[in-house]
Structure 1
Amino acid sequence: MVLAAIAKAIFGSANDRQVKKYLPRVAAINALEPEFEKLTDEQLKAKTQEFRDQLAAGKSLDDILEPAFATVREASKRVLGMRHFDVQLIGGMVLNNRSIAEMKTGEGKTLVATLAVYLNALPGKGVHLVTVNDYLVRRDLNWMGQIYRFLGMTTGIIVHGLDDAERKANYAADITYGTNNEFGFDYLRDNMKYSRDQMVQRGHEYAIVDEVDSILIDEARTPLIISGPSADRSSLYEMADTLIPLLGEGDFEIDEKQRSATFTDQGIEKLEAALVENGQLKGENLYDIENVALVHHLNSALRAHKMFAREKDYIVRNDEVVIIDEFTGRMMPGRRYSEGLHQALEAKEHVKIQAENQTLASITFQNYFRLYKKLAGMTGTAATEAEEFGDIYGLTVTSIPTNVAVKRKDEDDAIFRTAAEKFDEIANLIVDARGRGQPILVGTTSIEKSEMLAEILRGKGIKDIAVLNARHHEQEAQIVADAGVSGAVTIATNMAGRGTDIQLGGNLEMRIEKEAHELEGAERDAKIADIKRTIAEDKAKVLAAGGLYIIGTERHESRRIDNQLRGRAGRQGDPGHSKFFLSLQDDLMRIFPVESMDSMLSKLGLEQGESITHPWVTKAIERAQARVEARNFDIRKNILKYDDVMNDQRKAIFTERLELMDSEDVAETVSEMRHQVVDDIISKAIPERSYPEQWQVEQLVAAGKTYLNVDLPVETWTHEEGIDVEAVRERVTKIADEFAASKVARYSPDIMRQVEKSILLQSIDGLWREHLVTLDHLSKVVGWRGLAQRDPLNEYKREAFELFEQLLASLRELVTTQLSHVEIQMRQPAPLLADLEGLDEIHIDPTTGENDADDDITGTMPRALGPAPSLAAFAAAGAAAGAGVIEADPALRPIDPKLLVGVSRNAPCPCGSGKKFKHCHGAF
């Protein structure tokens, strides 16, 4: 430790050495400034094409970094009146170097991004700037987009409410700003489309993630999900419900703290016996892979019966189970428990079981952002999570020095015995600071605590309090912008309002927008002058009072969240204070107690209402936080290990879909599937090295009819001398191929190629959705394998691989069956997209538990998924019904099928009907 400290003092930290590496390039950019200042606007704009020509000639982005950065700096000076500081140039180089730039609040990250964004947009493959909400997307693009457009770059924006055509146009721009949710959902929706031209994204080349710690760590705890109604499983819930009353004491265990219930070995044996008696157990025991869905339903039924009480956790009203909020005691109509629990409660209460939503597509932010060939990020707080950024994303963290030295005074934590004493002291401090004209920003860990503190302050005569909880972003930004006005008291939950600087005296741009946006000419100029004077006077008053005072009402589980709050003061060399107040009743202290803290306080003679403030206490708290951070990192890492298994399969499926969409002819793929099905049905019916009299003739004939739609004369073949399995395989393959060829001849190759492609895509989608449900159920029960001394992760990997192989086998069988049975007839097609209604976009905010995506996108699904091929008849019919039918209007004019190939869906139909192609022959 001593040697490390000495080395650091002599050579500087690793971060210092990294920053120093960029200084020669900063000097080179500065040396170009006089030359670039002499350029006319047109000459400066021409630099963009000059750089693109150099890249086309073989230069790399690194080769042109200095002149490109100098160009952006000069454009910013002319367009925005803002000149990049040297430290901002370093930040831009860090972003270009696949790293995270950690920059303090107020250091101008929004401007820093323009350097790396412009440079990486030059190849024309698209750059994505990702941030946390629509307000910041619009604000930053309107602001910084002036630089890009001045230099001849095109810009786009991805926010909620755009249709597919608008999204595609915005993704086609050189630079696209958008939210993390929208980028992720667009990726999922693109992989539910049926043709390449319906997809809106054009690749994942380079992204800069703003507030990178919030997006890649906090929000990465929950996946993005697109879900829709699943098949009716009410009978399975009802069956599971009848089994739970058979269990007695010792058959299950309840953990009220974790809100979980599990079966004991004794209980499992009882359930297996009952299932065997009813003929509902597949395989040898309940935990065979075939019973994954059954175990899920039994677990839900157990929780419903043993952990949820009527009139306490829910009530039954109007034949519905309605949740009761455990904190307020109010009914929550419209809200439903997830993972089948609500359906289990409905079965328990014998009311109508509502449809369970099924995951149609999902991805975690970890796996979405790892799609980018080049990724970077920026935030004010990343160093404490550097290990996670490195392990999960391969990103290093570089702390950028501030342009002006930080003058904020960070005081040691004050710790009290009780929360009541703590809040009383906080309120007194706020009253005192406000009396001096000092603005105060208070950070809390929950909305309830924010409201409680506000009530205490109102009781002390402070009425004008702003309470924020990060739900209304634009409104919130305005309030945060005013948090630096003298005497302002702002209470924020988990530091809402990130992305907006707190400027002492008030935010000039926000004030102008609010008070002068409707004024023009001399009247506007006079108003702006008045605003500037007011802000200057107020800033002088705030500076005299000591700057912004940051108060933390307790320590968060993560040091990073505390640093976010603390970092709001001391912007650009401003003075400021920060102090955290704790009590032994705080969640962090209660759940993760610091050793001997209470006894230590007793020995120090801490009296009622007193606090202790000491560096040792602050260090002890930070050690506790570090332990919690490590635990949370392990949890996220473990979740990612499971998700990586699904991600490998997701990539395989999505890649296969893209290849199919890009293929004009999938006949070879279909033929390979058909031959594999032939091999499978023969291997099941004819054992190796067996005699004809040992063959399962009836089984083979039935399989030929089911999968291939042909009559196989197997009985005749068995009487031939010298017949063997290879000869049978050749004959069955020939018969199947001839039958398929006869369909091609009957309907024309062009039409059959379209049918084959559509069936392939729809079959993949249907089976993939079922596979997602099975994997979800498997992940919830595989943990029990640990009781048998088996690694749950390895078990999950093994069984997920087996399930994926089953999916591929099912795909071959489904496609072969549908193509062998399908008949193309003439009839009015069913309306498009009837089966795409009621889909939800879901991303649960880990801090609030609420869905921060749009709750319901039913009305926008035609935009979201585009027109699907009209093959719903296959999906409904299936092999059991004998044939899928593709039908069209009998009144359609006859036309050579060759004329239909390659016609745009919105073009006039070649038959001359006057209708669009998609409403005529293109409707199939």
Structure 2
Amino acid sequence: MLGLGTLSKKVFGTPNDRKVKSVRPLVARINALEEEYRALSDQEIRARTAQFQERIRKGETLDDLLPEAFANCREAARRALGLRAFDVQLMGGIFLHQGNIAEMKTGEGKTLVATFPAYLNALAGKGVHVVTVNDYLARRDAEWMGKVYAALGLTTGVVVPFQPEAEKRAAYAADITYATNNELGFDYLRDNMKNAIEDMSQRGHFFAIVDEVDSILIDEARTPLIISGPAQDRSELYRVLDRFIPMLSEDHYKIDEKTRNATFTDEGNEYLEQLLSEAGVLPEGQSLYDPESTTIVHHAGQALRAHKLFHKDQNYIVRNDEVVLIDEFTGRMMQGRRLSEGLHQAIEAKEGVKIMPENVTLASVTFQNYFRLYDKLAGMTGTAATEAEEFAQIYGLGVVEVPTNRPIQRSDEHDRVYRTAREKYGAVLEAIHEAHGRGQPILVGTTSIEKSEMLSEMLKKAKIPHNVLNARQHEQEAHIVAEAGKLGAVTIATNMAGRGTDIQLGGNVEMKVLEALAADPQANPDDVRARIEAEHAEEKQKVLDAGGLFVLATERHESRRIDNQLRGRSGRQGDPGRSLFFLSLEDDLMRIFGSDKLDAVLSRLGMQEGEAIIHPWVNKSLERAQAKVEGRNFDIRKQLLKFDDVMNDQRKAIFSQRLEIMRASRVDEITRDMRHQVIDDLVDEFMPPKAYPDQWDAKGLKAAVLEKLNMDMPIGAWAREEGVDQGAIRERLERMSDAYMRQKADRFGGGTLRGLEKQILLSTIDAKWREHLVRLEHLRSVIGFRGYAQRDPLSEYKTEAFQMFEALLDGLRAEVTQRLAELRPITSEEQTAILRQLAAAQSGGAGAAAAPAPKPATNPDARPGFDENDPATWGDPGRNDPCPCGSGEKFKHCHGRLA
């Protein structure tokens, strides 16, 4: 009997079916225009783009233009690439334009699909970003799809690391820009550290299409992008701690694999304290529990994590005397990415490579918050449905499954579960041998480099030729993937997620043609292509007869999505195929998430050596375990995002303030408001509103005004005046400080002071923001302990972070005001003195350059009648005026110190 839910789906269709059905009329309208656009010349196709842009300027919406724009783009792609988009590809393009994630299976042509919404939205003239997972794909797609955009009269740019600034600005100025998620995020941070609008690269965040959206917005979302600068060198501490960790026994620490955490037990703390005291790292009489030991405790914890949770060839590899992280989802090297808070240094100490200094954060942003800057966001992937809730909650993105152009012919078999890893790998070898014997190409999926290399050794012993694709073979990735569909090919791959290159049965024709032409440049390209296509057709038929691509997975990943990505490599565009997962009770997922019950059941069943259990219930229970892990990971990301949102609000406030300052031709109004606020705060501090005049601290206010505003005011005399109140003193100080700054502007002449004001404002904002980020990091690392006191860490973090932000703004106003007050134009005498000092330093060599210039007993630049020993002859210089001795230094740094 059918359940109510199943019955209603049969009658009304699923929500996804209804979405697909709703766009069919639009697809029909695009198809109805096909003949009209086929009749246009190349020039007329480009002219249509200009007409569409004009219609948008006159008030038509992008939705109004969609059928015509898509028809124009389809015709341009047909001519430029020889590819005519299928109806399902048009559907995918419509869903992307609507701001959804289009889930399209491998081989359905997502790269071409992106051109339709990219073209339509580029007509608005605000720039479209197409986001890829690596530089190779960004370059490849920009070059490949750039032919379509050129045929439509639009420009294409590509952004890659280490690009010259002018080239990067030109790429962002293009109508459509291809870039990696990392480079987009870093450029956003770099732009907000620039001091002039014309130096900024990005021109806004209008519309982004994210390829492999699940990899970028979910898998990589846990790691923020950080631009950092060097901090204190603690390499010796890392080395000392690294020596001690192997000396610990299992009673000294606890490992929690589920949360990937490692902590010392009380016994471990005592033993470590003894070792550190003996090594002289911990001062005599100081305990690990003392506040002064916080840094040592933190780095000891990181050293423990480095040894017990981070494994070589699984989480990282050592290459060229450098620890390079491995992306656990894609198996790729994350060049340039480093673990924070001393963890990367702890791994470097463990591996005995050069320890790079720790860094302090100069700017940071998470991918969640970067991509939420866009007015409209869309994404493409083969697997998003399992994470639909996260996409909806965090990014406001819907997930739509787009039907395949041809029905899927792949056979997905039930998992085979063995008691031990040894039995499992024995069965894997047997399955590979059997499939290889009949010429079926096999893609073997592993979860780590270590396991892929172990399996490779087993295949070598069995004399089965094969390729290995993991982070070590990163450079040959596209070539290995292109070969993986050939007759009898065996390819071992670590996490096939987001590889960006299709596995085509019989091999990749384009790659073969390129290789043949490279080997014989004199050959006729058309003849070469005709020969290779004929050979390919014959080989493809043999592969089809052998059953298509066989995806054999040696383990389940903790995310169903990654398993589905691996499965999806087979059965491309209606090809036949097969997928099968081999598991054992010793696999990480099974071991961590409750294989005990299953083991007990298998023991009772009396399973024989090498025998597997195969049942749909096993698949269901595994999927439930994976769903639990995914749910927990989502909760962790959601919690991290809540904390980051606090910083994000502050980041947006600071960045928008910087932008306003850079765009303004003059900022004297901003600095005046800051100065008046500083005066308000000073008057409130020394002359509280409800205090009587005899309770005022006029002397304290006079000193503070001299320090902050560089003005020596008779505040004591003002305070003794009849009927004067706090407001009157505030008003006088504001009026006189405004007059003082106007005089200063006149002395500087023209717009010189205006330019200096802008520079001082921006440099002070940057310095204060950097200090604030460090404080927020420290707060974030300890706030979790508030939970033990029954207080909500998030609400405590929000409160304290807000108070710290207010302190930042107060400090910013005070510092900008003081720096501007101390500014003064340099005199010709000072210029001469400085040049003389520089000349003396250069002629005296390196030693002289480091030493201060000596003050001559009689200086020609000294004030007339100046006597070193008689302050009465010095005149009455201000603290920041040039010293009357003629040294060129400020009075307060020279003879003013002696007075």
Q: Summarize the Cα distance change of 1:497–1:388 in structure 2 as closer, same or farther, 3 Å threshold.
A: closer
Q: Once the 2 structures are TM-superposed, how far is the Cα of residue 491 of structure 1 from its aligned partner?
A: 0.8
Q: Once the 2 structures are TM-superposed, how far is the Cα of residue 519 of structure 1 from its aligned partner?
A: 4.6
Q: Once the 2 structures are TM-superposed, how far is the Cα of residue 443 of structure 1 from its aligned partner?
A: 0.8
Q: Summarize the Cα distance change of 1:329–1:400 in structure 2 as closer, same or farther, 3 Å threshold.
A: closer
Equivalent residue of 2:226, what SS?
A: strand
Q: Is the 8 A contact 1:324 1:331 kept in 2?
A: no
Q: Once the 2 structures are TM-superposed, how far is the Cα of residue 420 of structure 1 from its aligned partner?
A: 1.3
Write out per-residue CA displacement over residues 49-102 of structure 1, whole angstroms, 9 at most, x where no aligned residue. Answer: 121122122211111111111111111222211111111111110111100100
Q: Once the 2 structures are TM-superposed, how far is the Cα of residue 32 of structure 1 from its aligned partner?
A: 1.2
Q: Is the 8 A contact 1:313 1:324 kept in 2?
A: no
Aligned-partner Cα distance in 1 for 2:369–2:38: 44
Q: Once the 2 structures are TM-superposed, how far is the Cα of residue 19 of structure 1 from its aligned partner?
A: 0.2
Matched, 1:373 2:372: no
What is residue 436 of structure 2 aligned with on the other side? 434
What is residue 531 of structure 1 aligned with on the other side? 532
Aligned-partner Cα distance in 2 for 1:433–1:884: 88
Q: Once the 2 structures are TM-superposed, how far is the Cα of residue 41 of structure 1 from its aligned partner?
A: 2.0
Matched, 1:299 2:300: no
Equivalent residue of 2:720, what SS?
A: coil
Q: Once the 2 structures are TM-superposed, how far is the Cα of residue 766 of structure 1 from its aligned partner?
A: 0.3
Q: Is the 8 A contact 1:156 1:169 kept in 2?
A: yes
Matches within 5 A, 1:427-576: 427-462=429-464, 464-470=465-471, 475-495=476-496, 498-517=499-518, 519=520, 523-576=524-577
What is residue 202 of structure 1 aligned with on the other side? 203
Residue among 382, 392, 395 paired with 2:384 = 382
Aligned-partner Cα distance in 2 for 1:327–1:216: 20
Q: Is the 8 A contact 2:307 2:347 kept in 1?
A: no
Letter in 1 for 2:433: V
Residue among 391, 394, 397 paired with 1:395 = 397
Aligned-partner Cα distance in 2 for 1:724–1:360: 45
What is residue 13 of structure 2 aligned with on the other side? 12
User: What are the ranges of 5 or more consecutive residues in structure 2 without an aligned counterpart?
Assistant: 241-251, 274-287, 324-337, 839-877, 883-899
Matched, 1:134 2:132: no
What is residue 808 of structure 2 aligned with on the other side? 807
Larger mean Cα displacement after TM superposition, 10-19 or 702-711? 702-711
What is residue 246 of structure 2 aligned with on the other side? none
Matches within 5 A, 1:92-111: 92-111=93-112
What is residue 427 of structure 2 aligned with on the other side? 425
Q: Summarize the Cα distance change of 1:191–1:16 in structure 2 as closer, same or farther, 3 Å threshold.
A: same
What is residue 361 of structure 1 aligned with on the other side? 363
Q: Summarize the Cα distance change of 1:438–1:796 in structure 2 as closer, same or farther, 3 Å threshold.
A: same
Equivalent residue of 1:502, what SS?
A: coil
Q: Summarize the Cα distance change of 1:507–1:746 in structure 2 as closer, same or farther, 3 Å threshold.
A: same
Larger mean Cα displacement after TM superposition, 534-543 or 406-415? 534-543
What is residue 278 of structure 1 aligned with on the other side? none
TM-score (norm 1): 0.80
Letter in 2 for 1:161: F
Q: Once the 2 structures are TM-superposed, how far is the Cα of residue 329 of structure 1 from its aligned partner?
A: 13
Q: Once the 2 structures are TM-superposed, how far is the Cα of residue 468 of structure 1 from its aligned partner?
A: 1.1
Aligned-partner Cα distance in 2 for 1:234–1:721: 62
Equivalent residue of 2:114, what SS?
A: helix
Aligned-partner Cα distance in 1 for 2:195–2:663: 10
What is residue 855 of structure 2 aligned with on the other side? none
What is residue 685 of structure 1 aligned with on the other side? 686
Aligned-partner Cα distance in 1 for 2:466–2:487: 13
TM-score (norm 2): 0.82
Aligned-partner Cα distance in 2 for 1:39–1:611: 63
Q: Once the 2 structures are TM-superposed, how far is the Cα of residue 260 of structure 1 from its aligned partner?
A: 3.5
Matches within 5 A, 1:569-718: 569-593=570-594, 596-718=597-719
Q: Summarize the Cα distance change of 1:254–1:459 in structure 2 as closer, same or farther, 3 Å threshold.
A: closer
Letter in 2 for 1:579: L
Aligned-partner Cα distance in 2 for 1:572–1:652: 48
Q: Summarize the Cα distance change of 1:772–1:309 in structure 2 as closer, same or farther, 3 Å threshold.
A: closer
Q: Summarize the Cα distance change of 1:518–1:332 in structure 2 as closer, same or farther, 3 Å threshold.
A: closer
Q: Is the 8 A contact 2:313 2:449 kept in 1?
A: no
What is residue 116 of structure 2 aligned with on the other side? 115
Q: Is the 8 A contact 1:102 1:378 kept in 2?
A: yes
What is residue 163 of structure 1 aligned with on the other side? 164
Q: Is the 8 A contact 1:740 1:820 kept in 2?
A: yes
Equivalent residue of 1:183, what SS?
A: helix
Residue among 407, 410, 429 paired with 1:408 = 410
Larger mean Cα displacement after TM superposition, 29-38 or 733-742? 733-742
Q: Is the 8 A contact 2:784 2:793 kept in 1?
A: yes
Aligned-partner Cα distance in 1 for 2:303–2:228: 26
Q: Summarize the Cα distance change of 1:356–1:722 in structure 2 as closer, same or farther, 3 Å threshold.
A: farther
Equivalent residue of 1:78, what SS?
A: helix
User: What are the ranges of 5 or more consecutive residues in structure 1 without an aligned counterpart?
Assistant: 242-252, 271-285, 288-293, 315-322, 832-880, 886-924
Letter in 1 for 2:625: A
Aligned-partner Cα distance in 2 for 1:531–1:547: 20
Q: Is the 8 A contact 1:447 1:493 kept in 2?
A: yes
What is residue 847 of structure 2 aligned with on the other side? none
Aligned-partner Cα distance in 2 for 1:163–1:23: 45
Aligned-partner Cα distance in 1 for 2:43–2:760: 54
Aligned-partner Cα distance in 1 for 2:715–2:75: 82
Equivalent residue of 2:78, what SS?
A: helix
Aligned-partner Cα distance in 1 for 2:621–2:89: 35
Equivalent residue of 1:62, what SS?
A: helix
Equivalent residue of 2:524, what SS?
A: helix
Letter in 1 for 2:296: A
Letter in 2 for 1:299: T
Q: Once the 2 structures are TM-superposed, how far is the Cα of residue 738 of structure 1 from its aligned partner?
A: 2.6
Q: Taking every aligned residue pair, what percent have the same amino acid on both sides?
A: 56
Equivalent residue of 1:824, what SS?
A: coil
Aligned-partner Cα distance in 1 for 2:313–2:435: 38
Matched, 1:259 2:239: no
Equivalent residue of 1:554, what SS?
A: coil
Q: Once the 2 structures are TM-superposed, how far is the Cα of residue 692 of structure 1 from its aligned partner?
A: 3.2
Q: Is the 8 A contact 1:441 1:548 kept in 2?
A: yes
Q: Summarize the Cα distance change of 1:173–1:823 in structure 2 as closer, same or farther, 3 Å threshold.
A: same
Aligned-partner Cα distance in 2 for 1:634–1:344: 28
Larger mean Cα displacement after TM superposition, 609-618 or 136-145? 136-145
Which structure has more RCO (C-alpha within 8 Å, separation ≥ 6)?
A: 1
Q: Once the 2 structures are TM-superposed, how far is the Cα of residue 328 of structure 1 from its aligned partner?
A: 11
Equivalent residue of 1:516, what SS?
A: helix
Q: Once the 2 structures are TM-superposed, how far is the Cα of residue 742 of structure 1 from its aligned partner?
A: 2.1
Q: Summarize the Cα distance change of 1:828–1:524 in structure 2 as closer, same or farther, 3 Å threshold.
A: farther
What is residue 224 of structure 1 aligned with on the other side? 225
Q: Once the 2 structures are TM-superposed, how far is the Cα of residue 534 of structure 1 from its aligned partner?
A: 2.2
Letter in 1 for 2:392: G
Equivalent residue of 1:823, what SS?
A: coil
Q: Once the 2 structures are TM-superposed, how far is the Cα of residue 602 of structure 1 from its aligned partner?
A: 2.1
Letter in 1 for 2:580: K
What is residue 153 of structure 1 aligned with on the other side? 154
Q: Summarize the Cα distance change of 1:437–1:262 in structure 2 as closer, same or farther, 3 Å threshold.
A: same
Q: Once the 2 structures are TM-superposed, how far is the Cα of residue 433 of structure 1 from its aligned partner?
A: 0.7
Q: Once the 2 structures are TM-superposed, how far is the Cα of residue 516 of structure 1 from its aligned partner?
A: 1.6
Aligned-partner Cα distance in 2 for 1:262–1:820: 56
Q: Is the 8 A contact 2:646 2:801 kept in 1?
A: yes
Aligned-partner Cα distance in 1 for 2:207–2:506: 38
Matched, 1:34 2:35: yes
Q: Summarize the Cα distance change of 1:76–1:560 in structure 2 as closer, same or farther, 3 Å threshold.
A: same
Q: Summarize the Cα distance change of 1:670–1:555 in structure 2 as closer, same or farther, 3 Å threshold.
A: same
Q: Once the 2 structures are TM-superposed, how far is the Cα of residue 333 of structure 1 from its aligned partner?
A: 6.3
Q: Is the 8 A contact 1:437 1:486 kept in 2?
A: yes
What is residue 333 of structure 2 aligned with on the other side? none
Equivalent residue of 1:660, what SS?
A: helix
Equivalent residue of 2:386, what SS?
A: helix
Write out per-residue CA displacement over residues 697-737 of structure 1, whole angstroms, 9 at most, x where no aligned residue. Answer: 33222211211111232333343333332232223223322
Letter in 2 for 1:178: A
